[in-house]
Structure 1
Amino acid sequence: MTEITMARLYELMVVLYALSLVFYFTDYLYKQVRARRIAFWLVSVVWALQTIFFLLFIFETKRFPILSLFEGVYFYAWLLTTLSIVLHCIARVDLPVFFINVLGFVFVTIHLFAPNETTQHVVDSLVSEMLFIHICFAIVSYAAFSLSFVFSVLYLILYRILKQKKFNNLWSRLPSLQQMSSWMSNSILFGVPLLFISLILGLEWALMTLDGLSVFDVKIIGSFILTVIYITILLLHRNGKLVGMTYAWVQIYTFLLVVINFFLGSKLSNFHLWY
């Protein structure tokens, strides 16, 4: 009975999330402050329900829910929802919040339909503080890269509006090009160190606990490539060789690699069974 109730609550949460996107879209079309407020409070309820599910899971299993791809997706979705609320309260930016919530809704629905493949064997083999930090840092870095992706898309939209001189409703809801470029840089500047630390901790744990570990594992190679790419992007941007639309497009393409590495890399990996 409890499992059925939890399932129905999760479905209700998905419905509320969808309704919040409808109200955010209504606010965009008609500039209705009331619609934006309703959307924000619906997202807040969604975040509260997500947090309750987290706490209940931790209470029942005595561990943090990130030990499988199924759980990692949920944690990632929770982070995106949290970031959208923080941006709404601090930065007061409408469209970035909307796009982040769209991304969060996508991953919430993925979690709804994805099979839970966590096994007791995996749980027992992952009891390690080092590995716990490794997984947490990796997922938080993915959330940071998600922010850079959202701001890159909005940067391209605003650039096109300014170039065509079509100052419509969308233009008035966007931050400036300079602001979005700064947020793009700050997002990956925050994400890169976290991903690098995550890789180091993960490798140390694997070398100490796994037999026959190959450094040519798909997920390891993919993660290191992503780290190098993002570091290169930061350096080129700092030197003025990667700016404007090119800077935004590069971040969009790189984020697509992040998504591929997150899902496909985990499936092809020999030992990354959890995220």
Structure 2
Amino acid sequence: MGDLYITRLHEITIVIYAASVLLYFIDFLNSNRRANKIAFWLLAFVWGFQTIFLLFYMVDKGRFPVLTLFEGLYFYAWVLVTLSLAINKLLKVDFIVFFTNILGFIIMAIHTFAPVQYDSNVMSEQLVSELLLIHITMAILSYGAFSISVVFSLLYLIQYDLLKRKKWGKLLWRITDLTKLDYWSYILNVIGVPMLILSLILGLQWAWIKVPDLAWYDAKLIGSFIVLAVYSIYLYLRVGKEMYGKSLALWNVASFLIVLINFFLFGKLSSFHFWYQ
């Protein structure tokens, strides 16, 4: 029973860590100090849990827990979180903080959901099932963000066309102004991209455990990385190239079409995502 509670606490820590990474990504793109502050305190919470678990392992094993692979992974994750907090507080280098946390999340997820560290086969199977559940939930949340984002882009294109043709009617006034439509479409993609990244990290770990003969050229897997690539390009065009307006809205619509192709078509062609069959 004690192992079950510890496992649940590890899973809660992973979820909090994911929220921290999401906020750090928002700060990374927009220099949002409020997001950075919340992310810092969430990460501090993760560090506190990690430190308690580390001390618990030391007392339980009667030594410093680094002599096995999984003990070493946990200590490595703790070191990364510690360094990330220090860099965030002392150096204020957002680029390093974000990518350090991505690496830390990967290591933490590998340690938390690796079934070989549990003596009970039932607990191992349950943990792997929960890993799959978290992966699917994050993927659906990211797709949800992309879906609402494309609605804003479509409204942007409709509003743009009405203004260009000088169609002054009720529809024009019921749709909000172009600036807000463009902004919220962007914000939702800022949320969707890191959620998709974290989902792919957890999904690849699940596949590594449950599908040892996985073909890495699988249609669904390639499609998911294409989706990540096109939305990453969207963010680059918006932040790096400062592209706004109709061109970016069209890119967003085209990106969502790839999401639909990946979800419906590639899901059917995949041997990896067999629960879609």
SS at match of 2:246: helix
**Equivalent residues of 2:128, 2:206 under 8 A apart:** no
Structure 1 equivalent of residue 118 of structure 2: none
**Equivalent residues of 1:135, 1:198 under 8 A apart:** yes
Structure 2 equivalent of residue 108 of structure 1: none
**Equivalent residues of 2:220, 2:272 under 8 A apart:** no
* Counterpart AA for 2:191: F
* Counterpart AA for 2:200: L
Structure 1 equivalent of residue 142 of structure 2: 141
Aligned-pair CA distance for 1:211: 2.4
* Counterpart AA for 1:151: F
Q: Is the deviation greater in 127-136 or in 222-231?
A: 127-136
Matches within 5 A, 1:2-151: 128-151=129-152
Aligned-pair CA distance for 1:161: 1.2
Aligned-pair CA distance for 1:127: 5.4
Matches within 5 A, 1:222-261: 222-261=223-262
Divergent runs of 4+, >4 A: 124-127
Alignment TM-score, normalising by the size of structure 1:
0.53
Aligned-pair CA distance for 1:126: 9.4
Distance (Å, rounded) in 2 between the aligned partners of 1:227 and 1:130: 21
SS at match of 1:175: coil
Aligned-pair CA distance for 1:273: 2.0
Distance (Å, rounded) in 2 between the aligned partners of 1:224 and 1:127: 23
Q: Deviations over 1:114-144 (max 9, x none)?
A: xxxxxxxxxx899521111100000111111
Structure 1 equivalent of residue 158 of structure 2: 157
Structure 1 equivalent of residue 184 of structure 2: 183
Q: Does 1:194 align with 2:218?
A: no
Q: Report the identity percentage.
A: 47
Structure 2 equivalent of residue 8 of structure 1: none
Q: Does 1:217 align with 2:206?
A: no
Alignment TM-score, normalising by the size of structure 2:
0.52
Q: Deviations over 1:3-48 (max 9, x none)?
A: xxxxxxxxxxxxxxxxxxxxxxxxxxxxxxxxxxxxxxxxxxxxxx
Distance (Å, rounded) in 1 between the aligned partners of 2:272 and 2:227: 19
Distance (Å, rounded) in 1 between the aligned partners of 2:240 and 2:168: 32
Aligned-pair CA distance for 1:243: 1.8
Distance (Å, rounded) in 2 between the aligned partners of 1:256 and 1:125: 35
Distance (Å, rounded) in 1 between the aligned partners of 2:235 and 2:138: 20
**Equivalent residues of 1:233, 1:242 under 8 A apart:** no
* Counterpart AA for 2:258: L
1:134–1:126 Cα change, 3 Å: same
Q: Deviations over 1:55-97 (max 9, x none)?
A: xxxxxxxxxxxxxxxxxxxxxxxxxxxxxxxxxxxxxxxxxxx
Distance (Å, rounded) in 2 between the aligned partners of 1:136 and 1:209: 18
Q: Which runs of 5+ in 1 are unaligned?
A: 1-123
RMSD, aligned CA = 1.7
Q: Deviations over 1:227-261 (max 9, x none)?
A: 01101111111134532111011111110110110
Structure 1 equivalent of residue 45 of structure 2: none
Distance (Å, rounded) in 2 between the aligned partners of 1:274 and 1:125: 17
The structure with higher relative contact order (CA 8 Å, sep 6+) is 1
1:172–1:274 Cα change, 3 Å: same
Distance (Å, rounded) in 2 between the aligned partners of 1:201 and 1:229: 20
Structure 1 equivalent of residue 265 of structure 2: 264
* Counterpart AA for 1:237: R
Distance (Å, rounded) in 1 between the aligned partners of 2:138 and 2:215: 22
